[in-house]
Amino acid sequence: MKKHIMITMLFMLVFTLAACGSGTTSIETFELLNRQEDGAVAAYVDGSHWHGDLPDLLPNHHLSIGARIVDEDGEEITLDKDGHHRLRVELAGDANEGIVDFDHYGDHVHIKGVSEGITSVVFQWVQDGELMYETPSMKVYVIYADHNHDDEEVEAFELLNRREDQAVEAYVHGNHWHGRLPAIAVGENLSLGANIVDADGHTVSLGQNGHHTFKVVLLENANEGVVEFVNHGDHVHINAVGEGTTYVVFQWLHDGGLKYQTPPLSVEVTE
C-alpha cells in the first residue's frame, strides 16, 4: 500500500514539474500590442484560443509587437530588454518554415516577412531564461508584394459572408486588407457578396444582369488547383477543390470593363 502511495506521489511530482517546465503558469491577461499602430491591441488570449489576429505582412517588411501580460495574481509583468521578464516569439510545432523570421528585444519582438505563405507562431513570457507561459498558436500571413490593382479609387470595398447574415469578413484599407476569409474544407464553398462605395461616396448597385458586377479571379502566378470560382454578378462562390493556400483578387466591373481590383487575399483550404 505504501509503495502504491509513493509511486502515485512520485508520478504527481513528475507531472507537476513537467507542466511547470512547459510554461503552464496561469495568467489573467495576455494582449498583443501593435507598436506601429500606437500600441493598439491586435489580439488577446481567451482560454485556449485568440480573439483578433496579426496584420498581414509583406515580404521584406516587419511587424513590431509588444505585449501586456497580467499574471494570475493580477500583477502586471514589466517586460524589459535587460530585465527579468522578456517577450519571445517562436514558430509553432510543425509550422511552415521560411515564411517569417524573428528579432527579439525583450519588451517587444519583430516578425519579419521572408516569403509569401502562411505559418503559425507562439508567443512566450520568459522569466530569467525560464519559460513561464506560452500562448496558443496564431497564424501569420505573408502576402504578395505586387498588389497589381487598378488606379480607380474606392471609398469602401467590403466582403460580405452571405451565410452569416452578410457579416463583413474583410475590407480593403489602402493597399491591404483588414480581416480575412474563413478557411474552407475540401468540397465546401464560401458565398460572398460585396459592399462597394465609389470615390464619390455612392454605393455601387451590383446585379447579375446589371451594369455593375462583382467577380473573383485567381491572382496571377498563385497556386492553382486549390479553389474554383462561380461568379454570379452580385455575389461569388469560392469552391474548395484541393488542400493548400492560394491568393485571389476581387474585381468591380462596369459593363465588362475593370473599374477596380483589390489587393490579393489569401484563401486557405483544409482537409
pLDDT of residue 142: 87
Output the CA–CA distances (angstroms, integers) from residue 207 to 171, 191, 231, in the order listed.
20, 15, 11
Q: Which of 14-18, 67-71, 177-181 has the lowest mean pLDDT?
A: 14-18
pLDDT of residue 1: 53
88-129 pLDDT tens trace: 999 999 898 999 999 999 999 999 999 888 899 999 999 999
Domains observed in the chain: 2-142 (2.60.40.1080), 154-270 (2.60.40.1080)
Provide the pLDDT confidence category of residue 152 given band limits of 50, 70 and 90.
low
CA distance 67 to 27: 13
What type of residue sits at position 6?
M
What type of residue sits at position 13?
L
Query: Mean pLDDT in the chain?
Result: 88
% of residues, the chain, pLDDT over 70: 88
